[in-house]
Structure 1
Amino acid sequence: MGGAVSAGEDNDDLIDNLKEAKYIRSEQVEQAFRAVDRGDYYLDTYRENAYKDLAWKNGNLHLSAPCIYSEVMEALTLRQGLSFLNLGSGTGYLSTMVGLILGPFGVNHGVELHKDVVEYAKERLEIFIKNSDSFDKFEFCEPKFVVGNCLEIASDSHQYDRIYCGAGVQKDHENYMKIMLKVGGILVVPIEDQLTQITRTGQSSWESKDILAVSFAPLVQQNRADCSKPETVELPPVTIRSLQDLSRIYIRRALRSLIDEASPATQRVPHKRRRRRCRRGRISTYVFVGNQLIPQPMESEEEDRVEQEIKEEVEEEDEEKEGSEEQPLKPEELRINLLREKILSLPLPDALKAYLLHYREK
């Protein structure tokens, strides 16, 4: 499923469109989406399609449409310190965004069927930590991924505050996933072509709410024809952070606070960027058939009117820009990583600076 909003030119453009279409509704979800560039999770040869509201599949790699991930993030109602389990964690794109909200004292686990996809996710995660300035703007709960079938998780595994399943679930597997929730926890899962939010209200009580009509490939079930015993999936342990980790977290937090107090001007919002309006008049649904995406477009009779509105909006923004005295931040100002610069300026040994930078190479 996808195509609910118009294509963007970059990640910010895509997020603007998702906001206008009301898929992104909360500030924390918007910040997480802007912090993680969707294009970084595509293979280079397919990156030009990263900012379209479409699902993507190449071999075992798969990303759901941005509008789906938006609804999932909103429905999970995340906050700092929660535990999260991603069933079918794929490229790690969603888990990384979730980690920016959970903070350093949350739990962020993913189970993925294909070993090559887990390796891909770990590679993308390492690139994000080493190269993305967003890593220094948030306190991050780093995802941990394991290989295995999410229908074979050990029965004595710990429970989670939030769970998402990225594949279609049959009704007979619904209870299996609900049991992994803590009381008060939320499960977001596609069931019978509906993205559904399930809240555990008691030891044996749940409440369900349909969110969005979707089309997901079904969960891969274990083949029992050979009568062999399935391999049990052991989830990562929930560990207590070491004193060394805690030291880094609190030192970086203190430095961020100093930067915010000393440089309030750096919080100034740059001039509003020109963006494309969301074209709700044209909606296309994309369904997986084998390994291909088959588009089913619906042309709108209002397309000419929408184009005219876009033209008028651009003209109005140009007039506003000409009449405004506020100057936008220069590109070099936007690129400065203030936390990194502060750490490098401290009178500390290089080894300690490297430790505080969290092995960043940039």
Structure 2
Amino acid sequence: MGGAVSAGEDNDDLIDNLKEAQYIRTDKVEQAFRAIDRGDYYLEGYRDNAYKDLAWKHGNIHLSAPCIYSEVMEALNLQQGLSFLNLGSGTGYLSTMVGLIIGPFGVNHGVELHKDVVDYAKDRLEEFIRNSDSFDKFEFCEPSFVVGNCLEISSDSHQYDRIYCGAGVQKDHENYMKVMLKVGGILVMPIEDQLTQITRTGQSSWESKNILAVSFAPLVQQSRNDGSKPDAVVLPPFSVRTLQDIARIYIRRTVRNLVNEEALSKGPVQRVPQKRKRRRCRPPRINTYVFVGNQLIPEPMESEEDERIEKESKEEEQDKDTVEPLKPEEPQVNLLRDKILNLPLPEPLKVYLLYYREK
């Protein structure tokens, strides 16, 4: 599924379109989407498609359409300190955004069938932590990924506050998913071609709400020729942070608050002028994307309204040539990093407070 909003030129442009189409509706979800550049999760040579509202698949690597992730993030109703399980965690794009909202005292686990995809997700996560300035603007719950089939999770595993399944769930697996959810928790998954939000209201009671019509590849069911059962997937433990790590979290929080107070005392931040006249956003409409073998085949539904908006978009693109060029933007300064580096502390402690970041 995808194609509900106009294509963007960069990550901020994509988020603007998702907001205009009402897929992103809350500030915390918007902030998480802006902090993680979707293009960073694409392979080299494919990044030009990163800011289109389309799913992408290359081998085992897969990303759902941005409008799907937006609806999932909103439906999960994430809060600080919650536990989250991502079934079919893929590239880690969604798990990383979740980690920015649930914070350092949450739990962030992912299960992915393919080892090469888990390795890819770990590389993307390390790149984010080491090189993205967004990492210093949030308190982060680092995702932990394991290889395995999410239909073979050990029966004695923990229950979670929030669960998302990124593959189509058959009706006979619905209860299997539900029992992993804590009372009061929320499960979001595609079932019978509907992205569905399920809230556990009691030990044996749930409330369901359909969010969006979708088409997902189904969950993979493993079988053994010799009749033996596949190995159970053991999820990571709910570990307690060390005193040393807690100290780092609170020191960084204190410094970040100080930086924010200093910025406020200097007056409101000047917004960067709009760099261009942005293309008009299409109203939400449903396109279906179906897997055929290893290919993702779009089946768009066009309308007269789509044609009209496309025509207006082309006219706006022509008009932008008459707009005066903007001055080059000055690079943003990582104020938290600068403040830590200027503290009267031993260098090894500064490096530790910066999470051994490279920039």
TM-score bracket for this pair, using the shorter chain length: over 0.9
Matches within 5 A, 1:13-28: 13-28=13-28
Structure 2 SS opposite 1:44: coil
| Aligned equivalent of 1:277 | 280
**What pairs with 1:87-166 in structure 2 (closer than 5 Å)?**
87-166=87-166
Give the TM-score, by structure 1 length.
0.92
Tell me the residue number matched to 1:53.
53
- The TM-score, its normalising length taken from structure 2, stands at 0.93
Q: Could you tell me which residue of structure 2 aligns to residue 361 of structure 1?
A: 358
The residue type equivalent to 1:336 in the other structure is V
Residues 213 and 203 (structure 1), Cα distance of their counterparts in 2 relative to 1, 3 Å cut: same
Q: Give the partner amino acid of 2:339.
A: K
CA distance in 2 between counterparts of 1:215 and 1:171 reads 15
> C-alpha deviations, 1:94-145, integer Å up to 9, x for none?
0000000000100000000111110100000000000001100000000000
Distance 1:268 1:33 in 2: 21
The amino acid of 1:59's aligned partner reads: G
Say which SS state the counterpart of residue 226 (structure 2) adopts: coil
Alignment correspondent of 1:293: 296
- Distance (Å, rounded) in 2 between the aligned partners of 1:354 and 1:78: 31
* Structure 2 counterpart of 1:251: 251
User: How many angstroms does 1:191 deviate by?
Assistant: 0.4
CA displacement, residues 271-325 of structure 1 (integer Å, 9 cap, x when unaligned): 3524322134986533221111222233332356425655787899999x99xxx
Identity %: 78
CA RMSD of aligned residues (A): 2.3
Amino acid at match of 2:272: H
Q: Distance in 2 between matches of 1:272 and 1:308?
A: 26
Give the Å deviation of 1:86. Answer: 0.2
Q: Map 1:1-362; keep pairs closer than 5 Å.
A: 1-264=1-264, 265=266, 268-273=269-274, 274=276, 275-280=278-283, 284-303=287-306, 305-307=308-310, 309-310=312-313, 331-333=329-331, 335-362=332-359
The question of whether the paired residues in 1 share the 8 Å contact of 2:5 and 2:284 is answered with no
* Cα contact 2:223–2:229 (8 A) shared by 1: no
* Equivalent pair of 1:5/1:283 in contact (CA under 8 Å): no
Instruction: Give the AA of the match of 1:338.
Output: L
How far apart, in 1, do the equivalents of 2:316 and 2:209 lie? 37
Partners of 1:69 and 1:10 lie apart in 2 by: 17
Which residue pairs with 1:325 in the alignment? none
8 A Cα contact 2:4 2:284, kept in partner: no
1:82 CA displacement: 0.2
Q: Deviations over 1:129-165 (max 9, x none)?
A: 0000110000000000001111111111110000000
d(CA) in 2 for partners of 1:220, 1:89 = 14
Contact conserved, 2:26 with 2:74, CA < 8 A, in 1? yes
User: What is the CA-CA distance between 1:268 and the residue it aligns to?
Assistant: 1.4
Amino acid at match of 2:60: N
The 1:267/1:186 distance shift into structure 2, 3 A limit, reads farther
Kept in 2, the 8 Å contact 1:282–1:303? The answer is no
Question: CA, structure 1 residues 203+280, in 2 after alignment: closer, same or farther (shift >3 Å)?
Answer: same
Task: Check the 8 A contact 1:281/1:302 in 2, yes or no.
Answer: no
* Kept in 2: contact 1:3–1:285 (CA 8 A): no
**SS in structure 2 opposite 1:233?**
coil
C-alpha separation in 1, matches of 2:17 and 2:171: 34
Counterpart CA distance in 1 for 2:327 and 2:201 is 48
Counterparts of 2:88 and 2:285, CA distance in 1: 30
Partner of 2:109, secondary structure, is: strand
Q: Following the alignment from structure 1 to structure 2, what is the Cα–Cα distance between the partners of residues 223 and 67?
A: 34
Structure 1 stretches lacking a partner, 5+ long: 323-327
Matched position secondary structure for 2:123: helix
Judge which range, 309-318 or 270-279, deviates more.
309-318
Change (3 A) 1:269 1:28: farther
Structure 2: runs of 5+ lacking an equivalent? none
Structure 1 residue matching 2:206: 3-state secondary structure? strand
- 1:13 maps to a residue whose letter is D
Distance in 1 between the 2:261 and 2:219 partners?
49
Where does structure 1 differ by over 6 angstroms across 4 or more consecutive aligned residues? 311-319
